[in-house]
Amino acid sequence: MINISRYVIAAAAVCAIATGATPLLAQQDLGRDGTSWHWDGALASGGSLRLYNINGALHFTASPDASVHVQAVKHVRSGGDPRSVHYAMVRDGNNLVICVLWSDDATCDATGMRSSNRDEEDSNRDRRNVAAELSIQVPAGVHTNGNTINGEVSVDRVDSDVRATTVNGSVRVRQVTGQVRARSVNGDVNVDTRGGPVSAETVNGSVKVSMGSTGTADMRFRTVSGDIEISVPPPLNADVELSTVNGSIDSKYPLDYDRDRHRGSGVVGRGGRRLSASTVSGSITLH
């Protein structure tokens, strides 16, 4: 059974991160005027890029060069104030953090963003009436970590490890080469990757994963309300555990099943690492 409280904690952690070391470079109050903001900056392979948003989608694609390219657009509804939304960047060596800030007291440091509750009423109004959508081009070999609360996260053809997290929205990862961890609470998670391994989870939605390789790390797939479909390339070497409450299990690999076929487990190939999948209201397919 999935512990839903873990998702609540994870959702809060997207926007409330403890402070870290003093950064080498910090820029605040960027892009406050107007509805669009653009930034370019070099980031070498082996570094990391983390982006934190609250209301709005994040789109990551491969950069044509060795620089990060950011294009941000504010979508303003009636009653919204675009000046309430601004951006901050913190650079610590070869690691870059970009935050979308929704109040004047919000801060961004080397580990993420945080905000007090002094302007909570105004901030909540602005979050409803202003959305910040960001498109980011990522250089090869730069680890990518995208987080938002309300909006989808998409990652296409990025040559690195990827983490993609949202609360209300879908997660879509396509043709990346590294390890992938994808998470939503209310939305589908779809991963089609040239690399691996992959772990993917949501609460209300389906999980569909296709891997070009599986690597050596454990793989975990979870949902509460939705189906899980996992496609792995041969040969698969894993200790497999699949379980559902209201659904069926179908695996092309030989497993031991319980009487009602709601649980299947077994050592596939040489075993050695864990592949687990569970859902409450849905079926599981492993092929």
pLDDT at residue 3, as a whole number: 52
pLDDT at residue 5, as a whole number: 45
Angle at 177 between CA 145 and CA 59, to 5 degrees: 40
Determine phi and psi for 128, rounding to 5 degrees: -75, -30
Helix (H) or strand (E) run with residue 5 in it: helix 5-13
The full set of domain ranges for the chain reads 1-151, 170-287
For residue 85, the one-letter residue type is: V
Nearest to 63 by CA among 160, 174, 139: 139
Annotate 234-259 with b (16+ C-beta within 10 A) or e (fewer): eebebbbbbbbeebebebebebebee
pLDDT at residue 143, as a whole number: 98
Nearest to 164 by CA among 156, 173, 177: 173
Could you list the pLDDT tens digit for every one of the 287 residues in the chain? 445 444 443 444 444 433 344 445 889 899 999 999 999 999 999 999 999 999 999 999 999 999 999 999 999 988 889 999 999 999 999 999 999 998 888 999 888 888 765 555 455 555 678 999 999 999 999 999 999 999 999 999 999 999 999 999 999 999 999 999 999 999 999 999 999 899 999 999 999 999 999 888 999 999 999 999 999 999 999 999 999 999 999 999 999 998 788 999 999 999 999 999 999 999 999 99
